Amino acid sequence: MSHQSTVGATPPSLRGAELLRAPRFNKGTAFDSKERAELRLRGLLPHRVFTLEEQAARVMRNLEHKPDPLERYLYLAELADRNETVFYRALVDHVAELLPIVYTPTVGEACKRFAHIYTRPRGMYLTLDDRGRIAAVLRNWNESGVRVIVVTDGGRILGLGDLGANGIGIPIGKLALYTALGGVAPHLCLPIVLDVGTDNRELLDDPLYIGVRRPRARGAEYSDFVDEFVAAANEVFPGLLIQFEDFATENAFGLLARHRDRVCCFNDDIQGTAAVVLAGLEASARITGRALADQRLLFLGAGAAGVGIATLIVSAMVQAGLSEDQARARCWFVDSKGLVCAARTDLAPHKRAFAHEHAPIADLVGAVRALQPTALLGLSAQAGAFDEASVRAMAEFNERPLVFALSNPTSKAECTAEQAYRWTCGRAVFASGSPWAPVEFDGRTHVPGQGNNAYIFPGVGLGLVASRARRVTDEVFLVAARRLAQLVPQASLDHGSLYPPLEAVRAVSFEIGCAVAELVWKRGLAEEPEPADVRAFVRAQFYEPQYVPYLAP
Ligand code: NAD
């Protein structure tokens, strides 16, 4: 896709070495001889003038020589701090290769070690000491026109648990994808960590830990702080979208419920995940012939992701004609204590809507045999939790069992792609959270589809930002999921993959952005006046990494 937008690229007043140190404006070796002469750059760069494409090729060449993914992550982070345009050019042109580095799974490794690899802030760090003056602190950010904040409290990073202030790596990575995939210009994006302490002993004992050394704030101390942050962010950056990210489940649902009717916000772990999985289920109908409303789903793991998915699936089933009770009755959960059922007295509030009447069952294979689901979905962060007996049982009563091992990172996946195909004699329709290489089985190549949230949130964000949405409704995610499912090419389905190739995700995000923006206008939730041509309007805002001339020709 080639959009010619140069949004956000205004000629700087910077000169000389200062210009080379400003990542948004720096062109490095691509400054031409006239710019070098007039912008006081002569002598500060080697002689040869390169194109952006040549610079990006050099980046890819350098990456090849890095010994491991974390080194590649560090190299790209350093590049983003030096020359934003080359960073995004490389990311846009090599999505499939670089996504696993900039985001999951490598970002998980980077977060674990963030205190040790720290070089530059790359976002904002708010602590309880900022209470009462969060708005003033936010004004310290060097851009005044921020439109998207991705914020975490580091409470539950991917499947890795409490990583405290190290969790900032996630908002940084997600916002890089907002720009590279969703076309939201980099200067509109702000990564934030709410550093409320950590209960991670290893971090607290680490002399290099970058965060506040205290146990996590809880109760009113915590929620008052988050409330002040949400209000302050909306005051300082009008027309803002806040994406809540990797909050522990006990906070995630409450925060979303508290803020979703007041400001423009969503939680990607709950709603974005839900949409990407719903899209996979809808696309699977083109392989299995079974419509969503005819599925019976068994989830392993009843946390933010699992319950978020089931909640959106219920909405989609209701749209397809089922009653809410009928739809709920099609979604079952097993958590660490067995089947989530009505008789249990130990259930957290978010699980109760899915606690159906049934005798207790202790383990997954027992639940699979008793409930005979059409789809098994893993969101438990328990490596190997889909054992051979459970997956084989799925294949006993389903011609094409759906097996989604969605936990991240790769080391936490409920089963491998190869196991899913082998245990079902190649009949499983498999999807995962982290990437798996294609699997050869019985002379056929199976391509595991990655139910990556990156298919959804950049497009949703684009649509919300373009329309200046006042609120984010569940319908936004239904529309996004449906659009994504429609965009899965037949060639992907032919290899068993339920998602488009990652190379297509930028074009897919643009389409989702248009669909979301259209919905926001249709529902009267937009601050922006409705344009005559929504696609042209969204396209005009879609960031394309390219250099703009700084001097009149
Ligand atoms: P969470 O901590 O809220 O939930 C985890 C759930 O798993 C809890 O209900 C817990 O009780 C349950 N659990 C723990 N041990 C179990 C066991 N032995 N058997 C059954 N259940 C068990 O976390 P979350 O936000 O729901 O995320 C869960 C996983 O899903 C993570 O690994 C995360 O990376 C992954 N995830 C994947 C995607 C994606 O692929 N697109 C998106 C979001 C989250």
Indicate whether 443 belongs to any domain: yes
* Token digits of residue 349: 């509030």
Q: In a 3-state reduction of DSSP, which class is residue 445?
A: strand
d(CA 485, CA 284): 9
The protein residue with its alpha carbon nearest to ligand 1, atom 42, reads 273
Mean pLDDT by 10 residues, the chain (553 residues): 44 88 96 95 98 98 97 98 98 95 93 93 97 98 96 92 97 98 97 98 97 97 98 98 96 96 96 97 98 98 95 97 97 97 94 96 98 98 97 97 93 95 97 92 93 96 98 98 98 96 96 98 98 98 94 79
CA 303–ligand 1 middle distance (angstroms) = 5
**3-state SS string for 35-98:** HHHHCCCCCCCCCCCCCHHHHHHHHHHHHHCCCCHHHHHHHHHHHHHHCHHHHHHHHHHCHHHH
From 408, 457, 502, mutation site for ligand 1 pocket: most ligand atoms within 8 A of C-beta: 408
- What's the one-letter identity of residue 224? D
- In the sheet with 375-378, reading across from the earlier edge strand, the strands are 338-339, 331-335, 297-300, 375-378, 402-405, 429-432, 449-450
List % helix, strand, coil for the chain (3-state, nearest 5): 50, 10, 40
**Smallest CA separation from ligand 1 atom 17, residue:** 336
The predicted pLDDT at position 222 comes to: 98
Residue 79 domain flag: no
Distance between CA atoms of 62 and 49, rounded to whole angstroms?
Answer: 19
d(CA 361, CA 339) in angstroms, rounded, equals 5
The predicted pLDDT at position 10 comes to 53
Residue 511 belongs to a domain = no
Please name the residue that has the structure tokens 């915590």: 222
Domain that holds residue 286: 274-453
Q: How many residues does the chain have?
A: 553
Provide DSSP, 260-294: TTTSSEEEIIIIIHHHHHHHHHHHHHHHH---GGG
H helix or E strand, kind and range, residue 124: strand 124-127
CA distances from 522 to 48, 252, 483, 530 (A): 52, 29, 16, 9
Query: 377-403 burial by CB neighbour count: b if 16+ within 10 A, else e?
Result: bbbbbbbebbbeebbbbbbeebebbbb
Any atom of ligand 1 within 6 Å of the Cβ of 251:
no
Residue 282 in domain? yes
* CA-158 nearest atom, ligand 1: 34
Residue 151 included in any domain: no
Is there a cis peptide before residue 409, judged by omega within 30 degrees of 0?
A: yes
Q: Look at the block and give the residue holding tokens 């202030």.
A: 165
SS3 334: strand
pLDDT in tens, 5-47: 444 445 678 999 999 999 999 999 999 999 999 999 999 999 9
- Which letter, b or e, does each residue of 103-133 get, where b requires 16 or more Cβ atoms within 10 Å of its Cβ? bbbbbbbbbbbbbebbeeeebbbbbbebeee
Position 11 scores a pLDDT of: 65
Residue 11's alpha-carbon distances to 22, 39, 195, 550, in angstroms, are 12, 11, 36, 5
Question: What's the gap in Å between 163 CA and the centre of ligand 1?
Answer: 16
Per the structure, the count of domains in the chain is: 1
Q: What is the pLDDT of residues 150-207, one digit of tens each?
A: 999 999 998 789 999 999 999 999 999 999 999 999 999 999 999 999 999 999 999 9
Return the DSSP state at 130: G
Residue nearest to atom 28 of ligand 1 (CA): 379
CA 312 to ligand 1 center in whole angstroms:
17
> Nearest C-alpha to atom 35 of ligand 1 is from which residue?
407
Report the b/e string of 209-244 with b at 16+ CB within 10 A.
bbbbeeebbeeeebeebbebbbebbbebbebbbbbb
Active-site annotation holder among 174, 209, 543, 550 = 174
Contacts of 67 (CB under 8 A, 6+ apart): none
Structure-token match 């079974």, residue found: 290
* 413 CA to centre of ligand 1 in angstroms: 10
Please identify, by atom number, the ligand 1 atom nearest to the C-alpha of residue 249.
Answer: 3
3-state secondary structure of 432: strand
**Inter-residue contact 488 to 511 (CB < 8 Å):** no
- Answer yes or no: is the C-beta of 107 below 6 A from any ligand 1 atom: no
Q: What is the pLDDT of residue 408?
A: 85
Pocket of ligand 1 contains residue 379 by CB under 6 Å: yes
Is 438 contained in some domain? yes
433 in contact with ligand 1, CB cutoff 6 A: yes
Residue 213 C-alpha to ligand 1 middle, in angstroms?
A: 27
Question: What is the H or E stretch that residue 474 is in?
Answer: helix 474-486
Does 519 reside within a domain? no
Q: Are the beta carbons of 35 and 553 closer than 8 angstroms?
A: no
Position 328: which residue type? R
Ligand 1 within 6 A of 303 CB?
yes
The answer to whether residues 361 and 339 touch, using CB atoms and an 8 Å cutoff, is yes
Is 350 close to ligand 1, i.e. is its CB under 6 Å away? no
Question: The domain spanning residue 318 has which CATH number?
Answer: 3.40.50.720
Residue 430 token pair: 């498999």
Cβ(276) to ligand 1 under 6 A?
yes
Quote the ligand 1 centre to 534 CA distance (angstroms).
37
Active site residue 103: yes
Cα–Cα dist 321/423, whole Å: 35
User: Do the domain assignments include residue 334?
Assistant: yes
Residue 278: which residues within 8 A CB-CB, separation 6 or more? 292, 309, 312, 313, 316, 477, 478, 481, 485
Q: Which listed residue (103, 209, 222, 421) is catalytic?
A: 103
Compute, in degrees rounded to 10, the torsion defined by CA atoms 333, 339, 345, 349. Answer: -10
Contact assessment for residue 267 and residue 460, using Cβ atoms and an 8 Å cutoff: no
List the residue whose alpha carbon is closest to atom 15 of ligand 1.
336
User: Distance from the CA of 301 to the center of ligand 1, in angstroms?
Assistant: 5
CA-408 nearest atom, ligand 1 = 34
